[in-house]
Structure 1
């Protein structure tokens, strides 16, 4: 079957490529996609030049939902709405697949979801309830990153969990704080950020503070760093200063450059640094489950939808990336009609 893949050939330049797709496993037509900061780094050309040379041309986008059009095993029915899992194992080892060197990630290690059709194995899909908001569901993958980090934190935490701090008032910080409130209901959730207009949206949090206006004597038990890039250095410094002994610092933010950390105080306080990246099938199932059990979460998550762009051409796709780049907060959703 003829398929068209829409790849980024070089920064800010998309091209169409005719490809073929076999009628095997499950064939899905993407319907709603969501732009991630990682996609923007490729589009803007802000990744190192050797990385761009190695990766491009490549179809972007790893956050997406779609509609099943064919299933070789009849596990899914035509028309079923599904969330697509970008992490793709090419073998098994003793490591969790989202951390395994045997896995590749769509929109990073190989083509993402900007194509007419996508062929995936059955375990790379999770069926969505018919009443789910597909615009919000398009960034379930981002939710799973927060979810798997929280699940891992709950498994390994040592100290008390009376006060949990979230650094970062962007999309991931918002989702992480929201899910902490849902999954750790007995804990106080405090959010630290730089933008008062963003912090005002965290109505579900117990307290919010600008990072330069934190009350004297405030302490937290564990921290979740959702800042990333060079700014993560100051966030981690503040976390180390405010965290109680034997706390866990959960790192989510991605930086292109090494970030110095005050290891003297890490040692003195007996802190644990926990890295979190990507997610696996059980995280997608977990997120779908909690969204189904508490539909009120959709009301909060819908506040992240700031742009909805109908994509009918490559010019529309380029415009959506340009629009997303100048947005200070929220997600740009692509209604895929190309």
Structure 2
């Protein structure tokens, strides 16, 4: 079978290509809704290290996607089923290390081609059937939600039981999703969000309090914290967390920075703070995310609020327009309705 793919061959330059694929014991999916991630933007704008770009490109972008099953040679799914596709693809099992941290695992739109294709060929174990009547635009960024689910699940296992106040630093998409999920995982805890933009912070209507980082009340502390800022500003966020967290609190770092940052290790030691990082997610996190969607449908309603742009994609120029609009958006997710 010959499949059409849409590759980024250089920053801001997409090219149509063709690739022979083999069905074997796989499922054929037609992508319907895709979502742009910050990682995609770093490739698109060429903001990653030139050596990495030279190694990775050309590359088919996008790792947040849902689609319709066209054919399943394994008879696991039926034609017409809507599925979310897990971008992480493990090649082995380890009873200690999660699939998303195994060096041997491959990740779509990074280690191999992402979802900007006419058809996607996948093994059935990388697919999860979507609930009926789910908002497909929200479902398209299930992967990002699962990343927060993964981080919070790890946090639940290693943090101490005093969770009176949980702080989230970051008023962007990741901070929004993480703080929203924290209200589900820990309904008896107060969730406070710290950010820099009043308009963005007003979106966090479901949390207990929001504060701008230069207007934090005297005496306020948090038991634990999540850093969802990323980039160079993550240094400011992490060091402020260290200042405001109670002794023996746990800090979850989710923000990605392309550059090394300096943090106050002296106070980490003095307070006995636990710091852990998390990246990507695995199948179990997707399953847990679907369970949350089913049991807490209000979550889907809140997630609708962060859809900022929707583009119907028919031509290569539509892809460029979507990426440019997404890059210039101050907040929210850009959804691609794939009509290739």
Coarse TM-score class (shorter-chain normalised) = over 0.9
Indicate if the aligned counterparts of 1:159 and 1:246 stay in contact, CA closer than 8 A. Answer: no
Indicate if the aligned counterparts of 1:140 and 1:287 stay in contact, CA closer than 8 A. Answer: yes
SS at match of 1:96: coil
**Residue number in structure 2 paired with 1:225:** 227
**Residue number in structure 2 paired with 1:133:** 135
Q: CA deviation at 1:91?
A: 2.4
**Residue number in structure 2 paired with 1:334:** 336
In 1, the alpha carbon distance for the partners of 2:222 and 2:51 equals 41
Q: CA deviation at 1:26?
A: 0.9
Structure 1 stretches of 5 or more lacking a match?
none
In 1, the alpha carbon distance for the partners of 2:42 and 2:71 equals 33
Where do 1:1-338 residues align within 5 Å? 1-24=1-24, 25-93=26-94, 94-338=96-340
Cα deviation code 1:278-323 (max 9, x no counterpart): 0000100101111111111111000010000000010000110001
Q: CA deviation at 1:130?
A: 1.5
Q: CA deviation at 1:124?
A: 0.5
Cα deviation code 1:190-242 (max 9, x no counterpart): 00001000000000000000001000000000000000000000001110000
Q: CA deviation at 1:22?
A: 1.9
Indicate if the aligned counterparts of 1:23 and 1:70 stay in contact, CA closer than 8 A. Answer: no
In 2, the alpha carbon distance for the partners of 1:136 and 1:267 equals 41
Q: CA deviation at 1:159?
A: 5.0
In 1, the alpha carbon distance for the partners of 2:162 and 2:2 equals 56
In 2, the alpha carbon distance for the partners of 1:28 and 1:226 equals 32
In 1, the alpha carbon distance for the partners of 2:128 and 2:33 equals 15
SS at match of 1:97: coil
SS at match of 2:199: helix
SS at match of 1:28: strand
Q: What is the aligned residue count? A: 338
Indicate if the aligned counterparts of 1:159 and 1:247 stay in contact, CA closer than 8 A. Answer: no
Query: TM-score, normalized by length of structure 1?
Result: 0.99
SS at match of 2:54: helix
Structure 2 stretches of 5 or more lacking a match?
none
Alignment RMSD (CA, Å):
0.8
In 2, the alpha carbon distance for the partners of 1:330 and 1:11 equals 23
SS at match of 1:75: coil
Q: CA deviation at 1:90?
A: 2.0
